[in-house]
Amino acid sequence: MNVTKNADREPRGPETAEGHKGRSYREASIGLLSAAVFAVLFYLWGEELLPRAAGRLGGYFSFVGAVALTLAVALFLVEWFRFAGREVRKVRLAARDFLFLCTLSFILFFLAKGVVEVLPEVPSWNRAVPARLYVYLIPLPAFAMIVRVLLNSEVAILFTVAASVLSAAAASGRWPALLFLLLSGTAAASRSGRIQDRYRMLLAGVYTAPICAVGAIALELAFQGADGIWWAGLLAGINGLVAGPIALALLPVAEYVFGYASDIRLMELASTGHPLLHRLMLEAPGTFHHSVVVGTLAEAGAAAIHANPLLCRVAALFHDVGKVGKPQYFSENQAGTVNVHDILSPGMSRVVILSHVKEGLKLAQEYRLGDRVAEIIAQHHGTSLLYCFLDKAQSLIQERRASEETFRYPGPRPRTREAAIIMLADTAEAASRSLKNPTQGELEETVTRIVNRAYLDGQLNECDMTLRDLHAVEQAFIRVLSAVVHARVDYPESGRGPLGQVP
Ligand SMILES: [Fe+2]
Ligand SMILES: [Fe+2]
């Protein structure tokens, strides 16, 4: 599989007016939420964190200090995320993402407190290891890995900086602690791109360990001298090594609670043993076969433009899963049977066909397919027309009893390159299936027509596909479809191959 470093989680497309309004609400809510979090932290550890201010303000400290610190931190976070969200496309976060990041920061703060205050109390350790060195065990690398795997690299960098400041505050704000946390979080996040199996997650921790160890030794030498440098290196190395197992243990919990789907989860979903795919295979075999071919096309298209091939393949397998309840209404399952739409009005046919997107979303939620697959199910038809029923509905449209617009899917249109690729692959597969023994030229013309139609209909207006991307995807589709269509060699009448043997 062609995996590239650019194939990070895609941003949510260009911002609309509603998106801007939503972002303002999110900024206000992050301000309030962070204010609440810091008020609690300050109440618990204010005097310890800011002893000088506590001494000067005396009895007013708890109130004045809490308000001042909370205001400063809330302003900092709001300004920071506002700036990043406006200028960096991949940092446009949903409310759920904020909640996830705040939860991680909060947990990390308490873990840092535990590591720094509880471990030095262990009797057999406290004599051998200087107490200040326990900061090198704060598990920020594991948390940075989780953020990179579930969100993206830009957010992982922002999280590392914010969580480092917060965790260093828990460790009484020493410079070596802050610098080590920044280094270890960045090193772990940078080694956790495109993790598709557990082994690579563990390996990312192993590669992070020496960076942490060398960083800790250098910081100790610079700030404290040679005393205890080997302990610092050992503790920091252990921190890096256990980052993989900790991230692996926390990942399924984060996926379950916040509805994310990491690439490891996508690999699990890709198995045909998945109960929903198994159902699709038994109840709608035509749709299952269609989905497999769409997956192959989409994977090739994604690889051609450095999008995420794994996400494309898995989302394609599930894109039409909403058809399981009524498979006979869809052409790919009608081979050898009557077309039920012949006896239905165009309006009824429309309702049944449109419902497969909604049904698919319900099943995605029921089977916890995760946010990325669900988004693609919702967007795979965009607001495109139901071309197959448009001809049948022409009389209704001419009599003004229906408009062409009522024969459109409700949307939304594809907002990521992966969703756009699946929309195009879906239509290209269906169109190529309707061709009887097509020549290479006919195949190329069909794919080009499909891509042009989607582009001219505005279906690709909300995703980041360039014309160069579109051309590359089109060429990849033609390559795969040629192999698929021309591989369907007709058997001779006798049922025997050209050499007199059953092929
Ligand atoms: Fe569909
Ligand atoms: Fe489809």
Q: Quickly name the fold that domain 264-486 has.
A: Hypothetical protein af1432 (1.10.3210)
Identify the band that residue 22 occupies on the pLDDT scale cut at 50, 70 and 90.
low
pLDDT score of 323 more than 90 = yes
Please tell me the distance between residue 400's alpha carbon and the centre of ligand 1 in angstroms: 28
Please tell me the distance between residue 82's alpha carbon and the centre of ligand 1 in angstroms: 37
Please tell me the distance between residue 404's alpha carbon and the centre of ligand 1 in angstroms: 19
Instruction: Write 41-45 long-range contacts (CB < 8 A, 24+).
Output: 41/109, 42/66, 42/69, 42/70, 45/113, 45/170
208-237 b/e with 16+ CB inside 10 Å = b? bbebbbebbbbbbeeebeeebbebbbbbbb
Lowest mean pLDDT among 35-49, 184-198, 382-396: 35-49
Question: Counting ligands in written order, which one lies closest to the CA of residue 377?
Answer: 1
Please tell me the distance between residue 57's alpha carbon and the centre of ligand 1 in angstroms: 65
Please tell me the distance between residue 36's alpha carbon and the centre of ligand 1 in angstroms: 44
Q: What does the pLDDT average to over 422-444?
A: 90
Residues 220 and 472: their CA atoms lie apart, in Å, by: 52
Please tell me the distance between residue 381's alpha carbon and the centre of ligand 1 in angstroms: 6
In the predicted model, what is the mean pLDDT of the chain? 82
**Measured torsion, CA atoms of residues 256, 262, 264, 266, in degrees rounded to the nearest 10:** 90
Residue position matching structure tokens 């922002």: 158
Q: What's the predicted TM-score (pTM) here?
A: 0.79
Question: Counting ligands in written order, which one lies closest to the CA of residue 357?
Answer: 1
Residues 125 and 119: their CA atoms lie apart, in Å, by: 8
pLDDT score of 480 more than 80 = yes
Query: Cα dist. 175→166, 168, 202, 455 in Å?
Result: 13, 8, 29, 54
CATH 1.10.3210 spans which residues of the chain? 264-486
Please tell me the distance between residue 269's alpha carbon and the centre of ligand 2 in angstroms: 18
Please tell me the distance between residue 317's alpha carbon and the centre of ligand 1 in angstroms: 11
Please give the helix or strand (H or E) that residue 449 lies within, else none: helix 440-456
Q: What does the pLDDT average to over 365-385?
A: 93
Please tell me the distance between residue 357's alpha carbon and the centre of ligand 1 in angstroms: 7
pLDDT score of 3 more than 50 = no
Q: Which residue has the higher pLDDT, 394 or 296?
A: 296
Q: Are 325 and 357 in contact (CB under 8 A)?
A: no
Please tell me the distance between residue 214's alpha carbon and the centre of ligand 1 in angstroms: 53
Identify the band that residue 488 occupies on the pLDDT scale cut at 50, 70 and 90.
low
Please tell me the distance between residue 319's alpha carbon and the centre of ligand 1 in angstroms: 6
Please tell me the distance between residue 375's alpha carbon and the centre of ligand 2 in angstroms: 15
